[in-house]
Amino acid sequence: MRKWVWFLIFSQSLIAAQKTKMELPWSALPKTPPTPKDNPITPEKVYLGRQLYMDPRLSKDGTVSCNSCHNVMASGGDNRAFSAGIKGQLGGRSAPTVWNSAFHTVQFWDGRAASLEEQAKGPLINPGEMGMENHQVVMDRIAKIPGYVSQFTKVFGQNGLTIDNLAKAIAAYERTLITPNSPFDRYARGDKKAMSAQAIRGMNTVMEVGCVSCHTGKNFNAPDDLAMGEGYYQKFPTFAENEYVTKYKFLEDKGRGALTKNEDDNYFFRVPTWRNVALTAPYFSNGAVKTLEEAVRVMAKVQLNKELSVNQVADIVEFLKSLTGERPKQPMPELPPDPPGMTTID
């Protein structure tokens, strides 16, 4: 009899928990990210990837590393409108944060890379970013650095010194850059005190207002059943007849259209994640909006044609703040030295 009562209470709580879980269009961040079968994560590969990620010798003049624009000691980005490449050149879009990029199904604002491996190879040979002439030049320089040669061989075997393996090492490292245990994640896992009442109001508001139709799934930027490599894009701006679009010059960047040259792709962008969004000002692909409050107002108007009240904005911002996770602790890598008494930088 007693056992029966306990079972009833227990099963009812399970159903209640399940119900709450089902109601959320998001889920807690998984502890491990999806990983391609041909690039398993190993400690040696991650260490090599961390070295390469931090190494400014991957840029033509030795001034820019992956970390310059995607700073893992800070927001995972650079908190600038446009990132600075070699010789102070400014790029055309704001650098997305590297945090949790392992969960994105495609990479870049226009989704032009289907994997972290593919992404890593881009900035190296972008003349305005790291400025190497081509991937062979990158690998020729790496081949001059004895410590890299031995590590590539150790991690990838003989003849392992290839641009694809370099990209694999960087991607493996990036897959460790996830930020678990945000207040939202703790809330989603059942700790109902992990978010403030205001954050919960904000969470309900974004569901009511309609933000969730795009900002969905575990990373708040794609349905969870989307395959890796498959992009999830939305048009921005959807409603172009308002002051924000003019003020913030939202019609200047055609997004995927600029990439595919297909008019149907004009103004389509990969949906950005909300995770750690409170760390990644300024906002939008052109970094034109300086605060999260304004970004929320702008999105409601430009994407949903809705004007939010001051309280709604404040509540939503409080919810978004609850998506700031814990940054991983990591040792500083020791970059393998150039051959004694030489520099490999041109």
Q: What residue ranges bind a second copy (CB under 8 A)?
A: 54-57, 61-63, 68, 71-75, 78-80, 84, 86-89, 277-279, 281-282, 290-293, 295, 317, 320-321, 324, 327, 329-335, 337-338, 340-345
Angle (CA) 25 225 211, round 5°: 35
State how far the Cα of 143 lies from the Cα of 79, in Å rounded to an integer. 33
Residue 220 contacts residue 275 (beta carbons within 8 Å): yes
CA distance 102 to 171: 8
Minimum distance from residue 23 beta carbon to a second copy (Å): 26
Q: Which is nearer to a second copy, 106 or 195 (CB)?
A: 195
Q: How far is the CB of 283 from a second copy (least distance, A)?
A: 9
Q: Which CB atom, from 305 or from 343, has the smaller least distance to a second copy?
A: 343
Question: Measured between alpha carbons, how far is 114 from 226 in angstroms, rounded to an integer?
Answer: 12
Q: Cβ contacts of residue 319 below 8 Å, gap of 6+?
A: 184, 195, 199, 200, 201, 202, 203, 205, 206
Any long-range contacts for 87-92 (C-beta under 8 Å, 24+ apart)? 87/61, 87/131, 89/128, 89/129, 90/128, 91/128, 91/129, 92/253
326 catalytic per annotation = no
**Active-site position among 117, 129, 174, 318:** 129
**Least distance between a second copy and beta carbon 331 (Å):** 6
For a second copy, the closer of residues 247 and 290 by Cβ is 290
**Least Å from the CB of residue 169 to a second copy:** 16
Tell me whether residue 118 or residue 293 sits nearer to a second copy (CB atom). 293
Residue 36 vs 62, nearer CB to a second copy: 62
Given a contact cutoff of 8 angstroms between Cβ atoms, the answer to whether 232 and 226 are in contact is yes
Q: Which amino acid is at 26?
A: W
Q: How far apart are CA 252 and CA 245, in angstroms?
A: 10
The residues, ordered by sequence, that sit 6+ positions from 228 with a Cβ below 8 Å of its Cβ are 34, 36, 105, 114, 115
Shortest Cβ 204–a second copy spacing (Å) = 20
Kindly list the catalytic residues: 129
